[in-house]
Structure 1
Amino acid sequence: MTPKQNDTVLKELRKNSPVTTIFDKHLPIEGEIADQPLMIGNKAKLLVDGPATYASMIQDIENAKDHINIEIFSFEDDEVGLRFSNLLINKQRNGVQVNIIYDSYGSINTPKAFFKKMEEIGINVLEYNPINPLIGRKEWNVNLRNHRKLLIVDGNIAFVGGINISSVYSSGSFGRKSKSNKKGQPWRDTHLRVIGPVVKEFQKLFISTWMEQNGNQLISKDYYPRLIEKGNEIVRAISNTPEKTYSSIHSILLSAINNSERKVYLTNAYFVPDTHLLDALKAAAQRKVDVKLLLPEKTDSIMVFYASRSYYNELLNAGVKIYTRQDALLHAKTALIDDVWSTIGSTNLDWRSLYNNHELNAIIIGKDFGAELNSLFHKDLGASKQITHEEWSERSLGTRFKERMARLWAPWL
C-alpha cells in the first residue's frame, strides 16, 4: 500500500473497530519487523479440518492451467498422498508444470520411489535439507526443517495453514469418524485459501526457498500473473527462517499480545513457550485481557505434552484460561487478538518452530474474518474441557515429576 492508502485503510479499520487501538500501536511495529507488505483486496476462506481443505485444494488443482507449486513438511505414501500424487502426475502430463518442495525429516517414512515416480514424468521435486549429508546442497544441519504447508495454483490462489498431505487428516473432528482414517482419532486442524494480490508474496517465498536450496532451474511459467483485487481482506504473508537473527512470527505475535486490550485466543498444537511469550500472556491476563489457550488433550509427542503442562500452573495463577480439546488430536495453529487481528499458519509455539524451522503464516486484519475465527474458536471450546486450579492441584506426584523432566528439554523441543 502507498502511504495514502495505508492512512485511509487504518482510518476505516479504526472506525469499524473502535474498541481496540491495536491498529495504532501494533501495526507500525509489525510493518517494521515483517519482510512482506500488508496487502489489500484479498478474499480469505477459512477451512476447517482435512476433508474440507482437501476438497478445496483438489478442485483448484484440477482447474490449474499453468503451474502448481507445493511446499510441504509431510507428503505421505498413503491413500491421501496417492490421490494427490496421481492428480499432480495427470496435470503434469497435460502441460501444467508441478514443482514440489518436501521436507526430508517430515517425509522420512515416504519411500523415495514415491517421489521418483513423479520426477519421471517431469515434476520438479526438491528434498529440503536432506538428512543424508552426502546429498545435501548446503552446509549440512540436520536440525533445520521446512515445516511450511503451502500450495499455490497458477500464481493466483494460495493455501496456507497446518495441514500436511496425509491420511491422518481424512476425517473431520466435529462429526463421526471417517472409516478411511485408519490411524486412530481424527485430527483437528485449520487451513486458509486466499486469492488476491497477497498471493504474489507467498509465491516469492516459495521461489526463494527453491533457490536457497539450489533446486533445479524452474521451468519458465507465468509465476507472477497480474493480480486484481478479489475481496476486502487485508492480508500479510509472514515467514520464519532460521537464517534470520530473530523470528519474525514470534516477534510479531509478541507485539500483538502486548498491545491487546480485550482478547487473546490462541489455538496451538505444541505449546512450549519461551520466557518472552510466557511473560506476554501472563501480563495480558493480569491487565484483564481475556486470555484463553486451546491446547491438545492428547498429542503425538509425549515429551512436548508434559513440557507444555509444566507451564499450566503459573499461567493459571496469572488468570490465563486453559482448555484442552477432547476427542481429536489438536494440530491447529491460530491466534485471534481483539477480534480484528488473526493469524493462521504452520507455526507452533515451541522453541523448534520459532527458532529452527522454516514456517509460514498468513495475518488477516479486520473484524469480519475475526468474527469467523472467533466462532470457530468457541465451537472448539464446546468440544473442550477447561483446566481448573482445583483439578490441576490434584495431579499426581508422578505427573509433576514428568513435567519437570520434560521442562528441562524445552529449548530442544
Structure 2
Amino acid sequence: MMEPPEERPPAAVVPAMPEFRDWGGLPELPLSEVLRRLLPCLRSIYAFAAVCRPWRRLLRSSADLLRPLLPPLILNPRSSVIAAFYKLVLAQPLAYRTDLRADGAVLLSASRGHLLLHRRCGPSEGEARIIIIDAFTGAERREITLPYPRFSYHYAALSPTHLLVFHSKHAFFSLPFPDPNPNPSSSSLHWTKHSLPRSASFVTGILGFRGRVLGLTDLAQLLEFRLCASPQGQSQTVQMLPAAGLPDATTFERWHFGPRLVAAGDRLLLVLFMLEPKSASLFQNKRGVKKVAVYGLDIAQMRWEEVENIGAYSLFVDCASKGAAACIDVRSCGVEENRVYVVAPGCPWRSFPPGWEAALGDADNEPFSERAMDRQPWPSNIWVYPQLFY
C-alpha cells in the first residue's frame, strides 16, 4: 500500500522587490557621513549633488559644516584657470569662462561665492554697473545698475539678503539680493541709502558670523549690520561694536593686505600686517611689513588678544579681493595647520605662522616689501570658493 505523499508547509511568500529604489529617501545621518567622506574631492561632491534633489538639498544644508573642511581655490585672472593646493581637491585646473579684465572692470571683492566688479562709465558711455560673477566657473553673470554712476565705489559685498555697495566713510547703498528679476533695469531697482556711524572709517570687509553680519574698517573698527526689507529705521542699520586691545592704526598696513576679519569655527579672528617702525628720515614715507599678527576676540569682554596658535585652522588672506577664509581639515588638502596663507601681486602664495616677524635687515622680503606694495593688487591671484558652499 502506497503511503500518501508527505505534505509540506506552503512556501513563504516573498514580497516583490521594487524595480527602482528611492535614493532620495535614505536617512540624512548616513548620507551626511557619506558626504563627509567624499571630501576634499570637489568632483565627488558635485557628483553627490547630482544624484537627486534631496541629496542636493542636504548638501546645501550642510554647507556651513563642509566649507571649513576645504581650502579656497586659486583663480589666476591672467591665465583664466582655477587650481587647487592639492590634486585630491581638484585633479586638473578648470578653465574660467569669463574674462575678468574685460570692459575696464575693477574687482571690488569676492563675497559669498561671487566676484563683484565695478564697471565705471566714461563721458560717452552708459550707466555704471556692478558685475556679479559666479566665482567658481564664471558661467553666471549679472549686471546691476548703480544708483549714482559718478560716485567712487571702493568696496561691495553680499550679505544673506542684500547687495551692499560702499562709496564713502559716511554712507552706503543696499539692494535686496537675489532679485527675482534676472535683468534689472535702473527703473526697477530699489536702492536704499544708509548712514554709517560718524566715527567709522572706510568699510573694507563684510563677514557672516553666528547669524550676524559684521563689518570691518581699514582702522580695524568692528561694525554690525542689521538690514531688513523695510527702509524704516535705516539710521539704526549699522552700529559700532567697541572692542579694545588692538595696536594703533598707524602701526599696521591698511589698504593692500589688511586688516582682514575671518571666522574660524566659533572664534572671530583678525589678521594685521604690522609695519616697520617709522624712520626719522623725512624722505622715507613707505614702510614694509615686518610682522603677521593674529588677534582673537573675547566676545564676553569685547577685547582683542594676540594669539600665536590658531590650532588646527589655517587662514587664507587675499590682497586683491579684500577677503579672508579659514580651513580646518588641512591634512587632506595639501596645506599646513596653524598658518596664514597670503596671496599678493607678483607672488602666487606664501604662508607664515601667526606672529611671524621678518629677520632684521630683510627689507625686501616678498610679498611684503615696499616694492610689492607699489604694485596694483589687480589682477593678481584670487582665493575663490564654489558657489555651492554659500
Q: TM-score, normalised by structure 2?
A: 0.28
Q: TM-score, normalised by structure 1?
A: 0.27
- Which structure is richer in relative contact order (CA contacts within 8 A, separation 6 or more)? 1
Structure with the higher helix share, 1 or 2? 1
Structure with the higher strand share, 1 or 2? 2
**Which has the higher Rg, Structure 1 or Structure 2?**
2
